[in-house]
Amino acid sequence: MNTMKKMLFLLPLSAALAWQCAAAAPLADASLDLPQPTCAEQPLATYLFALVGKGKPAPDGCGRSNADVTRAFDTLLAEVPADAAPRLKERLLTGPSAAGKPLSIEAQTWWLYSACQAHACGTTQLAALYDPAHRHMVGRLTLNCEVRWLGNPSDAQRAALDARMPANLEMVRRLGECGDAQ
């Protein structure tokens, strides 16, 4: 086959492969950081465990329960069958986390939160976004080395969660901490 025929033969194939790679590539994080208020200025600027855990004190001294966030959190976790994750809410609220951070995603304000199980953050963790305007939460749950998207997040929300709180499942699998999913 001469060079011109090879090129004409390979051109559609390489174009198809390039399109497939582009289609499979993760979306870029298009979220924007918003100014971080203090928890005294904005009650959502505290820890998730303080907002949804009954009376758990927050290190910032501002944490207080929030019925809207609690309902959204409970609705989100209800997507996981109880037998697949016994006491999931209780377990997620035992580990370290960071105070909520406001982001703008698709021109809407979302609050970024994290939660994980103490001594098992690699295998039981939640990265979540809360929308105070619609009282809705979406998130990525890592449970036994499997990722589950909860609350039907958009592609932009998934990209923001993946960029800001990446899940390193390969490292967890290498450490042999996958529980029943191994």
CATH number, domain 30-181, options 3.40.190.10, 3.90.870.10, 2.170.190.11, 3.40.1420.10 = 3.40.1420.10
What are the residue ranges spanned by the domains of the chain?
Answer: 30-181
Q: What is the pLDDT of residue 122?
A: 82
- β-strand 101-105 against 32-33: which pairing, if any? antiparallel
Could you tell me the mean pLDDT of each successive run of 10 residues in the chain, 182 residues long?
A: 41 33 51 90 92 80 88 97 89 92 96 94 92 98 91 97 88 67 40
Is the pTM higher than 0.95? The answer reads no
Q: How far apart are CA 125 and CA 179, in angstroms?
A: 14
pLDDT reported for residue 182: 37
